[in-house]
Structure 1
Amino acid sequence: MTARPSPDTVDVTVQRHFSAPAERVFDAWLTPRLLGQWMFGPGVRDEKVLRLDVDPRVGGRFSILVERHGTRIDHVGEYIVIERPHRLSFTWGIAGESDQDGSRVDIVISPVPTGCELRLTHALPRAWADYAERTQQGWAHMLEALHALF
């Protein structure tokens, strides 16, 4: 299952090669210890991870509470698809915002002879279209930090 074009969303796509098996890259998305090293925190941007809760099952939720420039931001979502090691989909939003403002992230990981290729598509609500470039840069930066783990 991947993001489908919709008149209600704007798709942001980022791709990255990893010199690691698909299983290791996939697991870094669902293992709290690893997730906290590359997705948020001082290794990625000027912020501190205050709490990281992950329930890695379909229907399970995650919450990543960070403090950035004195402001607390709780990134939350629900896992929709978990097909290790090839597909992962989840909703993405900020706690306290309307569910309508949420978005969806679809990840496809494909093995290649030198490791794996990851394709991330973030379907943003059309109301957030002005943030598409910033969102793409943010994911690219996070995937670069993930790449550094391997």
Structure 2
Amino acid sequence: MKVETPVSVRLTRRYEATAERVFDAFLDPERARKFLFHKPTAQMISVEIDARVGGRFSFVDRRDGVDVEFAGQYLEIDRPRRLAFSLQVENVAMHGDHVLIEIVPAGKGCELTLIHDVSPSLAEFQGRIEQGWIGIFDELVKVL
């Protein structure tokens, strides 16, 4: 049986905020709803976060009248350095991608590196996935 190698999206961004503040934004429902899996032109309908290893999350964003759910399970939570989770996007990536976020102090702020492993069957969406994370990183600045 051949094991398929995932396609990876890798991005790095610096923030003028502490590693703790950036890390906590991903797990705080009130802040996360403003940037995580949310398009500025859409309406975030619901956010549920069970911030523990094995806990699940769900974000439902209404986009052009269609509810899109982003869901997954936390695989690793090591505040403020590492956050890993599975990710399924309704009707797109139902089998579960893997996302790893690493945050290290850098100067007066921190540096965040994201690695999003995508199934090879979704390789054609690599550019869209990268643009999605760039948008998320841009919106994250507003909640820090």
1:21 equivalent in structure 2: 18
Following the alignment from structure 1 to structure 2, what is the Cα–Cα distance between the partners of residues 82 and 26? Answer: 10
The within-5 A match list for 1:91-130 is 91-95=86-90, 101-130=95-124
| Number of equivalences | 142
Structure 2 length as normaliser, TM-score? 0.92
Question: Where in structure 1 do 4 or more consecutive aligned residues deviate above 3 Å?
Answer: 95-99
Q: Structure 1 residue 94: deviation in Å? A: 2.2
Task: Kindly indicate whether residue 43 of structure 2 is the aligned counterpart of residue 48 of structure 1.
Answer: yes
CA-based RMSD: 1.7
Could you tell me whether the CA contact under 8 Å between 1:40 and 1:47 is conserved in 2? no
Could you tell me whether the CA contact under 8 Å between 1:48 and 1:68 is conserved in 2? yes
Following the alignment from structure 1 to structure 2, what is the Cα–Cα distance between the partners of residues 13 and 59? Answer: 24
Q: Structure 1 residue 47: deviation in Å? A: 1.0
User: Quick one: percent identity of the two aligned structures?
Assistant: 35
2:129 equivalent in structure 1: 135
Q: 1:34 aligns with which of 31, 35, 38?
A: 31
CA distance 1:98–1:112, change in 2 (3 Å): closer
Letter of the 1:137 counterpart: Q
2:76 equivalent in structure 1: 81
Structure 1 length as normaliser, TM-score? 0.88
Q: 1:59 aligns with which of 38, 54, 58?
A: 54
Q: Structure 1 residue 148: deviation in Å? A: 2.6
